Amino acid sequence: MIVFPAVDILGGRCVQLVQGRRDTATIYGDPLQCAESWLSQGAEALHIVNLDGAFGSSKLNAEKITDLITRTGVQTQLGGGIRSLDDARSWLDCGVDRIILSTFAADDPDCLTILSDEYGSDRIMAGVDAMAGEMVTHGWEKPAGNFLEWADLFIKKGAGSLLYTNVSVEGLCRGIDPKPIRELLSVVSVPVVVAGGITSVADITLLREADAAGVVLGSALYSGKITLREALEAAG
């Protein structure tokens, strides 16, 4: 199981948010330095989020993110404000291994088919952001229906993997809710990376045993509630 340290970028700086709210940002410094720190501690992949993109300014941080991808040279998955085919193609062409489409995929599921045909499904990840069993889009503000039905549609349309985020526990460092994760993993046929609330070795062990393909570590890692070494060991 792959451990993805999160490098979330807002205003050119590496930050962590609580429940996706901009006003909760804790700043951790230069994104490249943060990324290199995790890599020096054993990480072999990064989860990058262009938060300015998620908040509506998709072009912000592009140069900084491209530089980070080029200089680290590790496996990367990137999301945040990718709302058009042109946006998606530009990130894929700049060297991101896999892009994450959530609101765009929900608004226009055929975008997954188009991009999978052009770049290969292994480079196209659909984001399933859920709260109380319901998919939420547009900055986690718009309910969109059963998250399992959306996951099934995304796979049928061409997504080669899924990023499942439990919005209810995201950023709170209080642990995961295993029930919806197990429900999702039991019915899908593609790799699933899990985010949201992962705080302890026990959380990671449970996800490994449930056959998750990867975990994203954000607030718990940056706040020291779990070390990267502990996470890597638990992930096997």
Indicate which residues carry an active-site annotation. Answer: 8, 129
Q: Spell out the alpha helix ranges (H) of 17-109.
A: 31-40, 51-54, 62-72, 85-93, 103-107
Of 99, 184, 178, the C-alpha closest to 135 is 184
The residue behind tokens 């718990």 is: 220
Which H or E run includes 155? helix 147-157
Q: How far apart are CA 175 and CA 193, in angstroms?
A: 16
- Which two three-digit tokens encode residue 50? 């262009």
Main-chain dihedrals φ then ψ at residue 184, nearest 5 degrees: -70, -45
Q: How far apart are CA 221 and CA 206, in angstroms?
A: 18
Give 184's contacts (C-beta < 8 A, 6+ positions apart): 128, 147, 148, 151, 162, 164, 192
Q: How far apart are CA 41 and CA 57, in angstroms?
A: 32
Q: How far apart are CA 171 and CA 181, in angstroms?
A: 17
